[in-house]
Amino acid sequence: MPRVANVSLAALIAEIGPLLERCENPEQVAAMCGAAPVTRASGKSRNVGFRYTANKPARVAITSFADNSRHSSAWANDSYRRARARGARHPHAVRTPARGWVRVIWVCWTTDTPYDPSHHRGEQRLLAV
């Protein structure tokens, strides 16, 4: 994983590992660790906002990792920059690649394979351009 330090790796394993075991898909993990937004809909109105009820240590672990990874991962940096260009503030923009990293970690965890940037489609698309 790009720019994952010993402390960050330990936090990821300690906080997100149990969520990976408990959840059925990566979207549930992203929601439980606060990387996914919450949608409130009623009648004709629909509001998408920040997910306050989440595992806060898991949120800190995944967003810290996502923030660090954007400095060495072209895909994470592109995801962050596009979110900032849409007008998202830094905390919101960091949660965007964090949600993507949850999906990557989910695949690595469930298939028992290490992360390989050459198999990451987001990285491949950016390198091809």
Q: Where exactly are the structural domains of the chain?
A: 6-128
> What is the Cα Rg of the chain in Å?
15
Q: How far apart are CA 97 and CA 91, in angstroms?
A: 11
Give the chain's mean pLDDT. 85
To the nearest whole percent, how much of the chain has pLDDT over 70?
88
Please write the tens of the pLDDT for every residue from 71-81.
888 888 999 99
Q: Given this model, what pLDDT does residue 2 score? A: 67
pLDDT over 80 (residue 122): no
Q: How far is CA 119 from CA 6, 97, 114, in A?
A: 24, 17, 10
Q: What tokens does 86 get?
A: 């849409």
Q: What is the pLDDT of residues 15-38, one digit of tens each?
A: 888 888 898 999 999 999 988 888
| Percent of the residues in the chain that have a pLDDT greater than 90, as a whole number | 33
Report the C-alpha gap between 33 and 53 in whole angstroms. Answer: 9
Asked whether the beta carbons of 122 and 107 are under 8 A apart, the reply is no
